[in-house]
């Protein structure tokens, strides 16, 4: 984790330099603001990773002599057959369309988003996959 923290911190230094150069050169406020916000996001992620790296054990990527197989192992559980992301995607698309076409479209998108969200969260608390 230590190397990722350093990478984000160096990226934030680069973004800050580019924001200053872009702001002075172009005098355009929207792009300059976006670059400064990108700097802020990058510094937050870099600080979090550097702060967390001090609290956890050194990982394989922190060792210069490590092999790829040193970090092998179980990554986690991923649902192989969930339909809930489709419901969330359709509901999210309708919600974004509501901004363009009219807020009344949120009456259709909000229930789809809520059904997809609750279905995804509680997918393994009921039904045939209850104890996985």
Return the structure tokens found at 41: 């996001």
pLDDT value of position 100: 93
pTM of the predicted model over 0.75: no
Q: Which residues of the chain have pLDDT under 50?
A: none
Contacts of 62 (CB under 8 A, 6+ apart): 1, 2, 3, 53
pLDDT of residue 130: 67
User: 2-26 and 29-53 are packed helices; what angle lies between their axes, rounded to 10 degrees?
Assistant: 170
> Which pLDDT score, from 0 to 100, does residue 127 have?
66
Name 65's Cβ contacts closer than 8 Å, sequence gap at least 6: none
Contact at 8 Å (CB) between 98 and 107? no
What is residue 128's predicted lDDT score, i.e. its pLDDT?
66
Q: What's the confidence (pLDDT) of residue 102?
A: 92
Q: What pLDDT was estimated at residue 48?
A: 94
* DSSP state, residue 126: S
């Amino acid at each position: 984790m230590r190397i990722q923290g350093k990478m984000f911190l160096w990226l934030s230094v680069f973004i800050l330099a580019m924001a200053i150069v872009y702001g002075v050169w172009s005098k355009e406020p929207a792009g300059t603001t976006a670059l400064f916000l990108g700097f802020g996001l990058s510094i937050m992620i870099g600080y979090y990773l550097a702060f967390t790296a001090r609290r956890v054990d050194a990982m394989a990527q922190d060792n210069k002599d490590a092999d790829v197989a040193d970090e092998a192992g179980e990554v986690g559980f991923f649902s192989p057959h969930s339909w809930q992301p489709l419901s969330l995607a359709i509901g999210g698309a309708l919600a974004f369309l509501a901004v363009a076409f009219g807020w009344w479209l949120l009456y259709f998108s909000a229930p789809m988003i809520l059904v997809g969200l609750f279905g995804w969260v509680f997918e393994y608390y009921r039904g045939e996959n209850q104890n996985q």
